[in-house]
A and B are shown apart, each in its own frame.
Chain A
């Protein structure tokens, strides 16, 4: 047998193809007894390889042939013939040629390597080496003959097709995929059609099998998208490849993976968007490429792994334009419904439903913008989809998440409208009703019955389902109002049965009822109705809730509040939605120039809309008539807003009338004017059953008053005047409508209290122990200062003061709070024009008399302590209203000065009085900005200058003039500090920052003297403010502050509920809650210290603090323990 050398020589010298020599060589290798044969075989071409002389073409040709001999031999070798190490050596050899022999070695090397990669002994890790070698060709790659390049492409393709090699490449390169960027660099300018087919195939494989980083993705995307749209030049040597083959290959790249969708879709749409610059052929190409991008995706849907991503891409394509939607829908919808039937897991089902739901939403959005000639495939989104898709899932007993998606989708389906002219609902009425009936169960009806849609569902799951149903209904209702009417009707019908359930107590039932009613409000008021009047659903809802309230009047007031809160919520939400329509932004109160304030709507909506309920007259209304009338109303944003304002006023008025009544004054204390023989009292709906029930009733009255405030404050000044709301505070809308038969009372009040054109006197009826006072406050609180110009402040305030200063008091509890608030409002909103300096002085004198009773101390005729405190609080409320819009003259402020000077030093109840000083500045609803209170920007600084700053000296006991008076000095100083911190806790840091050093000194003393009480929390609040803003001020006092704070903690820890710390009579007992708050604030401060100071300031205290904190880790309150643990960590990290 010839040696390898001979065979090689023979092959190199042969002119044509010598098939024999390689074959013989292969056989010799296979039959060889030892490994030497392979070495001899490779060495056989040595004579051509050594000292290659590139200049001689002959050498080149013979070297190429010699290498070809090796490659051809390998082609003939059996796959198992080479050992792994031999393969490795050979790969190394051929790889080296890519660097060293660009002219002769490439083609044969590529062929040889291709063979080697298919050998059994080939290790996947070598793949990476081969690709790296190939990329070393650099610019010489394009100088290779097309056929050689084809060999290389084949080689790379073979490697990428080998899953083991691909896996190894992915592992070695990670997301950077550097081998690919190098390849893209080398192969950039390929022009040969046949090579391009291979190159595109490589790119496609890469995109499908690797997870490259974004930059790599962009690079690869560029590598094929640069060719788009691809054409083919006529060639003298036809390759047999058509332009369609090339187009198909490029499309395959575009459609290869969802990852490039975000690049591909904008790119293609952008190309499409170039107008006439794009020829029809190209456009077709683009569209077909787009189609290819999603055709494969449709198939991906059935694969659970890709559903979500494929779905996202499909949706984004569909959303591009009506045309793309209809293309996508046609291809995807059959896939979706089929897949939905055969889903493999719950998450797959959820993904498919999510896709379907998004398509429905996209369709809804497109219906709004599509032209009349656009086709949005109405046929695919009707009853059939409901039956095939959602109904099937609904019945399948699916889990909460699938159900949530199903409900979401059903609601979207029910609101689908046809494309083209005269849009109408696609689904039949029967299907829509079914959907609403189904959704009503988990959102409204089942929760009332304490049931869940899914048996044995956890509380969380039930809540998920309930919320999903509510949100879904909220979306469908604007487009299908009849469904909402049915829902309200179902809710009302379920109430009687719900009340019969005797297992639950009334508070729990009221909570359930309230939650269901609030959900109903959320559903009905999510948006304006799209069909018919914008107010349609709002009116249906509130009318329904009024009916519900009416049906509950025989029950406890706790149910009234449950429904009333929902009415209030409905009013707020509806106003909000309408305000957004009008102004484009969310605001409950519209500037006067934007709201049209069309008085005809606001003052007399009932004249335009007939059939509204009047529950004060036990009339439940005629909904059909109302809906018919609503249809005829103007529908522009401004009119709708005003119409709804009118409707809200109408609702509040009838509620006020329903729950109050006019009765003879004989049994009640007379009003200030004896000429009126009637008073406003509570209606007969209020039954005095038990203390609890009375509390619930009072609560209801407060909530009604708050609703009135919400409605009234949104009205313009002119409207408030036009409606004469000032009078309504006294007559509660009685007699406004002749039908109620109380017109005479109204005119009587109106005349009697209109003081000779000096304005109205607002009166609060003493009937039922002033229980209607909150209702009066409800209206008064919402009035703008301008609307109060018709009030006579003096004659309103004086009688009010008289009531409040009376001892023993006739008016206590919540009613007194309402009257106090009224006093604050009047002192805040009354303008100087309405009340002269003398009159103001008279008012202050009246209050000073009241204060005199308080400060009369232990004198025998002084009232009891609770009354004294109540009177003092009323005085402070008046001052609080005034302080908010302070006037700097002495004539206005002498009472404030007297009180600040003397109250804390009062002998017996000085401390309690001092605690009340917070009232001057504490946040109050009656003095809130939305309620049109007059608030001057520097009020905080002003009160600080008046009531705090002058008194710092008095916070320390003065040297005792005599041995027997020292104790009093101490107590006065403490009381003074209490008063100061009661104010400071409500001020901003900037208001008092100038005296920080002074305050720190008072803080240190107060920590040691206040004992465990809420007063200490005020101190800690101020201390934490100091620490947050300017810790520098605390630096010098750290030892005292730390020791005192830890002592406060310790003291509060030792407080047991049985231990009452009391500094006198009244409300000074310390509860467990107060003690808990003390400990909480003490540890909050301690925990913040390490973050605010350099360790050197704190290290001296570290050991003792850590000791205290470790004990605090056993605090009985969990929240306090957590603070102790984090504080301990911060302190132990100090070094």
Chain B
């Protein structure tokens, strides 16, 4: 049997994870949807792109193209489904990454030039204080964010203070660009990271 650092971690269920609250009217059943569509849908000929009659009924397809900045929840969504290297469970479920531990500066709500430099800080909480995989966890989060964020975002990943016995050392490793680059050249480590990121959509 594998020798795991933490064989019995606490796991959160999907409903306990933070999600974006999408206000959508969900009909109670498929049957409902069938009739609701027939009754409330905008008449087809009014949805024609050439129709200049506008009735605001919330079904405008342009609603799907609302501009929203990258926010903490979006960062969280990007990294929460990374698989833990020890268990087939996501980092979100293990509470290794947590929404309050994601910080964007300047905050997404402040308007600024879209190409201005922004910094994303993620604090990772290993499941136990002597976790030997803390560096791998941090590296996984870092790689995922670098692959999913535009070039004007600077990513910093640190171990949450007090959550690891050697957090200083791990933080040093994670912040050292050359060591990170070298680590990614290592085939074994690359294999582990690929496996972790496989579950990311």
Asked if residues B48 and A922 are in contact (CB atoms below 8 Å), the reply is yes
* 0 or 1 for each of B37-79: is its CB under 8 Å from A? (1 = yes): 0111001111011111101000001101111111000100010
Asked if residues A1113 and B149 are in contact (CB atoms below 8 Å), the reply is yes
Question: How far is B148's CA from A408's CA once the two chains are assembled, in angstroms?
Answer: 47
User: Known: A467-B28, A471-B28. Contact between A1067 and B36, CB under 8 A?
Assistant: no
Nearest Cβ distance between residue A1056 and chain B, in whole angstroms?
A: 11
Is A257 close to B, CB under 8 A? no
Asked if residues B36 and A518 are in contact (CB atoms below 8 Å), the reply is yes
Nearest Cβ distance between residue A889 and chain B, in whole angstroms?
A: 28
Nearest Cβ distance between residue A176 and chain B, in whole angstroms?
A: 18
Name the one of B46, B50, B147 contacting A919, with C-beta atoms under 8 angstroms: B50
User: Known: A925-B43, A1110-B150. Contact between A1116 and B68, CB under 8 A?
Assistant: yes
Question: How far is B185's CA from A1053's CA once the two chains are assembled, in angstroms?
Answer: 35
* 0 or 1 for each of B62-105: is its CB under 8 Å from A? (1 = yes): 10111111100010001000000000000000000000000000
Nearest Cβ distance between residue A926 and chain B, in whole angstroms?
A: 7
Asked if residues B62 and A1071 are in contact (CB atoms below 8 Å), the reply is yes
Within 8 A of B (CB), among A1083-1135: 1110-1114, 1116-1121, 1125-1126, 1128-1129, 1132
Asked if residues B38 and A710 are in contact (CB atoms below 8 Å), the reply is yes
User: Known: A813-B52, A1072-B67. Contact between A569 and B114, CB under 8 A?
Assistant: no
Nearest Cβ distance between residue B192 and chain A, in whole angstroms?
A: 17
Is B151 close to A, CB under 8 A? yes
B-chain residues with CB within 8 Å of residue A922 when the two chains form the complex: 48
User: Known: A565-B39, A926-B45, A1111-B151. Contact between A873 and B50, CB under 8 A?
Assistant: yes
Asked if residues A572 and B50 are in contact (CB atoms below 8 Å), the reply is no
Give the size of the chain A interface in residues (CB under 8 angstroms). Answer: 58
Is A436 close to B, CB under 8 A? no
Asked if residues A1077 and B28 are in contact (CB atoms below 8 Å), the reply is no
Name the one of A923, A1116, A1121 contacting B44, with C-beta atoms under 8 angstroms: A923
User: Known: A918-B49, A919-B50. Contact between A1117 and B67, CB under 8 A?
Assistant: yes
Asked if residues B148 and A1113 are in contact (CB atoms below 8 Å), the reply is yes
* 0 or 1 for each of B146-157: is its CB under 8 Å from A? (1 = yes): 011111110000
Give the size of the chain B interface in residues (CB under 8 angstroms). Answer: 41
A-chain residues with CB within 8 Å of residue B36 when the two chains form the complex: 518, 569
Asked if residues A572 and B39 are in contact (CB atoms below 8 Å), the reply is yes
B-chain residues with CB within 8 Å of residue A1071 when the two chains form the complex: 62
Nearest Cβ distance between residue B181 and chain A, in whole angstroms?
A: 16
Name the one of B40, B43, B45, B67 contacting A1116, with C-beta atoms under 8 angstroms: B67
User: Known: A1113-B150, A1119-B65. Contact between A924 and B39, CB under 8 A?
Assistant: no
User: Known: A817-B45, A821-B45, A1113-B150. Contact between A1118 and B38, CB under 8 A?
Assistant: no
A-chain residues with CB within 8 Å of residue B200 when the two chains form the complex: 1129
Name the one of B44, B55, B74 contacting A925, with C-beta atoms under 8 angstroms: B44
Name the one of B45, B62, B68, B153 contacting A1073, with C-beta atoms under 8 angstroms: B62
Asked if residues B68 and A1118 are in contact (CB atoms below 8 Å), the reply is yes
Nearest Cβ distance between residue B74 and chain A, in whole angstroms?
A: 7
Is B32 close to A, CB under 8 A? yes
Nearest Cβ distance between residue B97 and chain A, in whole angstroms?
A: 17
A-chain residues with CB within 8 Å of residue B74 when the two chains form the complex: 1118, 1121
B28, B43, B49, B114 pick with most chain A CB within 10 angstroms: B43
User: Known: A471-B28, A569-B35, A1119-B65. Contact between A1114 and B50, CB under 8 A?
Assistant: no
Question: How far is B149's CA from A1114's CA once the two chains are assembled, in angstroms?
Answer: 7
Name the one of B32, B45, B64, B152 contacting A1119, with C-beta atoms under 8 angstroms: B64
Is A328 close to B, CB under 8 A? no
Is B7 close to A, CB under 8 A? no
Considering the complex, give the chain B residue whose CB is closest to the CB of A695.
Answer: B55
A-chain residues with CB within 8 Å of residue B182 when the two chains form the complex: none
B-chain residues with CB within 8 Å of residue A1118 when the two chains form the complex: 68, 74
Nearest Cβ distance between residue B200 and chain A, in whole angstroms?
A: 8
Is A136 close to B, CB under 8 A? no
Asked if residues B147 and A568 are in contact (CB atoms below 8 Å), the reply is no
Asked if residues A916 and B50 are in contact (CB atoms below 8 Å), the reply is yes
A-chain residues with CB within 8 Å of residue B112 when the two chains form the complex: none
Asked if residues B39 and A919 are in contact (CB atoms below 8 Å), the reply is no
Asked if residues A569 and B39 are in contact (CB atoms below 8 Å), the reply is yes
Question: How far is B31's CA from A569's CA once the two chains are assembled, in angstroms?
Answer: 12
Is B14 close to A, CB under 8 A? no
Name the one of A568, A699, A1117, A1132 contacting B68, with C-beta atoms under 8 angstroms: A1117
Asked if residues A814 and B46 are in contact (CB atoms below 8 Å), the reply is yes
Closest 7 CB pairs of A and B: A1076-B65, A1114-B150, A1073-B62, A1116-B67, A925-B44, A1113-B150, A467-B28
Question: How far is B57's CA from A281's CA once the two chains are assembled, in angstroms?
Answer: 72
User: Known: A814-B53, A1121-B70. Contact between A568 and B65, CB under 8 A?
Assistant: no
Asked if residues B150 and A1111 are in contact (CB atoms below 8 Å), the reply is yes
B-chain residues with CB within 8 Å of residue A1080 when the two chains form the complex: 65
Is A251 close to B, CB under 8 A? no
User: Known: A817-B46, A919-B50. Contact between A1073 and B65, CB under 8 A?
Assistant: yes
A-chain residues with CB within 8 Å of residue B201 when the two chains form the complex: 1126
B-chain residues with CB within 8 Å of residue A1076 when the two chains form the complex: 62, 64-65, 67
* 0 or 1 for each of A514-535: is its CB under 8 Å from B? (1 = yes): 0000100010000000000000
Asked if residues B50 and A706 are in contact (CB atoms below 8 Å), the reply is no
Name the one of B65, B115, B148 contacting A1125, with C-beta atoms under 8 angstroms: B148
Within 8 A of B (CB), among A921-939: 922-926, 928
Question: How far is B61's CA from A695's CA once the two chains are assembled, in angstroms?
Answer: 20
Nearest Cβ distance between residue B41 and chain A, in whole angstroms?
A: 9
B-chain residues with CB within 8 Å of residue A916 when the two chains form the complex: 50
B26, B35, B69 pick with most chain A CB within 10 angstroms: B35
* 0 or 1 for each of A251-271: is its CB under 8 Å from B? (1 = yes): 000000000000000000000
B-chain residues with CB within 8 Å of residue A471 when the two chains form the complex: 28
Name the one of B39, B40, B66, B151 contacting A1110, with C-beta atoms under 8 angstroms: B151
User: Known: A1071-B62, A1116-B114. Contact between A924 and B44, CB under 8 A?
Assistant: yes
Asked if residues A1116 and B69 are in contact (CB atoms below 8 Å), the reply is yes
B44, B45, B46, B69 pick with most chain A CB within 10 angstroms: B45
Name the one of B40, B53, B78 contacting A817, with C-beta atoms under 8 angstroms: B53
A-chain residues with CB within 8 Å of residue B64 when the two chains form the complex: 1076, 1119
Asked if residues A1114 and B70 are in contact (CB atoms below 8 Å), the reply is yes
Question: How far is B25's CA from A531's CA once the two chains are assembled, in angstroms?
Answer: 35
Considering the complex, give the chain B residue whose CB is closest to the CB of A573.
Answer: B35
Asked if residues B147 and A1132 are in contact (CB atoms below 8 Å), the reply is yes
Considering the complex, give the chain B residue whose CB is closest to the CB of A1121.
Answer: B70
Is A1014 close to B, CB under 8 A? yes
Within 8 A of B (CB), among A562-605: 565, 568-569, 572-573, 576
Considering the complex, give the chain B residue whose CB is closest to the CB of A928.
Answer: B44
Asked if residues A1114 and B53 are in contact (CB atoms below 8 Å), the reply is no
18 CB contacts below 8 A, A to B, read: A471-B28, A576-B35, A699-B55, A817-B46, A922-B48, A924-B48, A925-B44, A928-B44, A1072-B67, A1076-B64, A1076-B67, A1114-B114, A1114-B153, A1118-B74, A1119-B65, A1121-B74, A1125-B148, A1126-B201
Nearest Cβ distance between residue A931 and chain B, in whole angstroms?
A: 10
Considering the complex, give the chain B residue whose CB is closest to the CB of A1073.
Answer: B62
Question: How far is B35's CA from A565's CA once the two chains are assembled, in angstroms?
Answer: 10
User: Known: A569-B39, A572-B38, A928-B44. Contact between A1128 and B66, CB under 8 A?
Assistant: no
Nearest Cβ distance between residue B172 and chain A, in whole angstroms?
A: 27
* 0 or 1 for each of A985-1001: is its CB under 8 Å from B? (1 = yes): 00000000000000000
Asked if residues A1129 and B55 are in contact (CB atoms below 8 Å), the reply is no
Is A470 close to B, CB under 8 A? yes
Considering the complex, give the chain A residue whose CB is closest to the CB of B67.
Answer: A1116
Is A915 close to B, CB under 8 A? yes
Question: How far is B150's CA from A922's CA once the two chains are assembled, in angstroms?
Answer: 38
Is A702 close to B, CB under 8 A? yes
B-chain residues with CB within 8 Å of residue A695 when the two chains form the complex: 55
Asked if residues B65 and A1129 are in contact (CB atoms below 8 Å), the reply is no
Nearest Cβ distance between residue B142 and chain A, in whole angstroms?
A: 15
Asked if residues A915 and B50 are in contact (CB atoms below 8 Å), the reply is yes
B-chain residues with CB within 8 Å of residue A919 when the two chains form the complex: 48, 50
A-chain residues with CB within 8 Å of residue B147 when the two chains form the complex: 1125, 1128-1129, 1132
